[in-house]
Structure 1
Amino acid sequence: MAKTSVARPSEVVLAARAARMYFLEDRSKVEIAGLLDISRFRVARLLDTARALGMVRIEIGLPGTLDAALSAELASAFGLRHAFVYNFGDDSDSSLRHRLGEAAGEAIADLAEATDVVGIAWSRSLSGLARSLTSFPPCPIVQMTGALSRPGDDDLLDLVRAVTRVGGGPSHGFYAPMIVDDAVTAQAIRRHPDVAAAYAMLSSVTIGMVGIGAWLPGLSSIYDALSQPDRDAVTAAGVQAEVSGVFLDANGTPRQTPLDERMIVTPAALLTQLPTVLAVAYGTAKCQAVWSALNGGVVNGLITHASLARSVLALSTPGSGLAGPRAGSG
């Protein structure tokens, strides 16, 4: 009987390399594919091989210590529907992103029911969401935005499909960028059948998963992807934060910008009407942006770490100069 490819020494070693990069070095499948000069589909098969051979053992548990008291305080201060604050220590941004992505997976698995429609928007902080999912209700999964292509980033459509595979419900995803060069191109993309089908589902979304960016270098994937003239035009519109492509001023009020017609995102008017918008945010440098998103009510749920939660709460204390209309609401 011929040996299978799994038994080949070269394949075993390659599976071990891929598993190490993915699980220990927090590299995406796309990045691993580039480093090993193979397709990302083969990377996925190698990771399956690593599990089958016992190289990788997965234990399911809380990705950190949930701080119930701080979670309740944050929810009370901003009138949030949900708040999950974890004590992760002073980890690096990449580690926080990975661990909070897993926490987001546990949170959405806990909150979602078969009657929900779950939307997932572009955000690097959501890249690890599917890794912690072992079960999920068979509800529809809707892609809420296009994606930004950056080295090391996971593909948004892959994430939508991964969550769908666990739950077994219908999937509404598409290949499209988040930002294009002109409004005519954006309109053409929105008319594509896959994109149009997903857009038609947006008003039915009951739980949206998003990320929060500060309008500064290195703190927003959108900011970093734009030319300097585009950045300046958005800044001139009074933008200081963004929620998966929805631009906000310092108080959290959505602002129109010259970029809006060129973006494949859930419009602000629709995003703010969704019953639950659950954001994942990490890094204390985003403190004011997170405060703005919570204060303006664009986001009514947050998954974050303790140091950022405390920084956001500090901005709502009297004398901070930022205590807005939602601060202190119960």
Structure 2
Amino acid sequence: MGPVDSADDRRLLATVARRYYLQDASKVQIAQELGLSRFKVARLLTEARDRGVVRIEIAPQAAVDTALSEQLIEHLGLRHAAVVDVPLFSDDAQAAVHLREEIGRTAAVLLHQVLGEGDVLGLPWSRTVSAMVTALETLPRVPVVQLSGALTVTDVAATPVDVVREAARLSGGPAHHFYAPLVAADIESARMMQRQPSVAGTFAHIDDVTVAVVGIGAWLPGESTIIDLVDAPTAAALTAAGTVGEISGAFIDAEGNAVDSELAQRLITVSVDQLRAVPHVIGLVTGPSRAGVVRAAVGGGLVDSLVTDSELATALLATEPVITRS
């Protein structure tokens, strides 16, 4: 059959291509709908590409620096590391969004490699974790467990419930989630929320989690969403107690130990001990100012793998090697 030229023929090519590439219809389905053989549908799809009706492009991704990733694995004793090197932007806000998207895409690839049927996936509230789930296309059939309550921020519309539901939709497994804020107004309110059936039921599944993906924040203004929300005396009290950062609200010191405080008792989130018990925790983190908390998280046995940027990786390699707590 020669190339088709009439308007009707090009409309047929566009219809077949749209159903196949954009609407996920199979060749058999398209053949039945249009009264064609599936072999004719296959020929039309080929013709659509040849005639330019369909243009297939591979979206560019940030380069993963393999050499730097391997050095980071050796230096920190990690299971996996992916160091993302992204182009520079003149606009800081644009750069931050672009880097978060690239970290999310790279983390999606790593998660797909390490997660298998039989695992249980744990996800907290985090901008980078949300970006990772957005980038995911498939997951093996696994349960998905929410690890923390929600923070309301202007640049991220997705709540942890949204993130968990989307991951569970991709996997086809059950979603264990709850509606609650990350930070309660006071300790008694936090305890009341923790007793709610949905919260208590979800937290009962945390011990089943085998792979968790978390964000990591330094205890510095602009480096942790939580520190930017609390008042100065509360932040100062945690600093005085030795806090170097937090993982989904689990405050840690330079040795990776939990830091208790009034604020810590107001949080609806996974604990340091629960994180340490998860067999594989993947940390998503950027920026050289977070080198200290990353070292604490890895050395304290809280994080096993990293997806990060080249600036933070270089800063980490300039420090002493980490001896991980077993």
TM-score bracket, shorter-length normalisation: 0.7 to 0.9
- Could you give the per-residue CA deviations for residues 172-208 of structure 1, whole angstroms, max 9, x where no partner exists? 1111111112111111111222211110000010011
Instruction: State whether structure 2 residue 90 is matched by structure 1 residue 86.
Output: no
The 8 Å contact of residues 143 and 172 in structure 1, kept in 2 or not, is answered as yes
Equivalent residue in structure 1 for 2:306, among 281, 302, 306: 302
Q: 1:184 is aligned with what amino acid?
A: E
Greater Rg over alpha carbons, structure: 2
Q: 1:270 is aligned with what amino acid?
A: Q
Match of 1:278 in 2: 282
The 8 Å contact of residues 161 and 177 in structure 2, kept in 1 or not, is answered as yes
Select between 225-234 and 164-173 the one with higher mean Cα deviation: 225-234
Aligned Cα root-mean-square deviation (Å): 2.1
Select between 295-304 and 133-142 the one with higher mean Cα deviation: 295-304
Instruction: State whether structure 2 residue 159 is matched by structure 1 residue 155.
Output: yes
Equivalent residue in structure 1 for 2:214, among 194, 205, 210: 210
Match of 1:139 in 2: 142
Match of 2:254 in 1: 250
The 8 Å contact of residues 251 and 324 in structure 1, kept in 2 or not, is answered as no
Match of 1:72 in 2: 70
Q: 2:62 is aligned with what amino acid?
A: G
The 8 Å contact of residues 62 and 85 in structure 2, kept in 1 or not, is answered as yes
The 8 Å contact of residues 213 and 286 in structure 1, kept in 2 or not, is answered as yes
Change (3 A) 1:279 1:297: same
Alpha-carbon separation, structure 1, partners of 2:295 and 2:174 = 34
Change (3 A) 1:59 1:113: farther
Instruction: State whether structure 2 residue 169 is matched by structure 1 residue 171.
Output: no
Match of 1:200 in 2: 204
Alpha-carbon separation, structure 2, partners of 1:148 and 1:123 = 9
Change (3 A) 1:60 1:279: farther
- Give the % identical residues: 37
For residues 13-52 of structure 1, what are the structure 2 equivalents within 5 Å?
none
- Could you give the per-residue CA deviations for residues 78-131 of structure 1, whole angstroms, max 9, x where no partner exists? 211221112224352221112111222222122111100000012122121122
Count of paired positions: 266
Change (3 A) 1:289 1:59: farther
Alpha-carbon separation, structure 1, partners of 2:105 and 2:80 = 17
The 8 Å contact of residues 298 and 322 in structure 2, kept in 1 or not, is answered as no
The 8 Å contact of residues 83 and 313 in structure 2, kept in 1 or not, is answered as yes
Match of 2:192 in 1: 188
Q: TM-score under structure 1 normalisation?
A: 0.76
Instruction: State whether structure 2 residue 131 is matched by structure 1 residue 128.
Output: yes
What secondary structure, in the 3-state scheme, does the structure 2 residue paired with 1:138 have? Answer: coil
Instruction: State whether structure 2 residue 235 is matched by structure 1 residue 231.
Output: yes
Unaligned runs of 5+ residues in structure 2 are 1-54, 90-94
Match of 1:287 in 2: 291
Alpha-carbon separation, structure 2, partners of 1:156 and 1:204 = 18
Select between 59-68 and 276-285 the one with higher mean Cα deviation: 59-68
Select between 91-100 and 240-249 the one with higher mean Cα deviation: 91-100
Q: 1:298 is aligned with what amino acid?
A: L
CA drift at 1:272: 0.8
Q: TM-score under structure 2 normalisation?
A: 0.76
Alpha-carbon separation, structure 2, partners of 1:267 and 1:199 = 10
Q: 1:66 is aligned with what amino acid?
A: V
What secondary structure, in the 3-state scheme, does the structure 1 residue paired with 2:227 have? Answer: helix
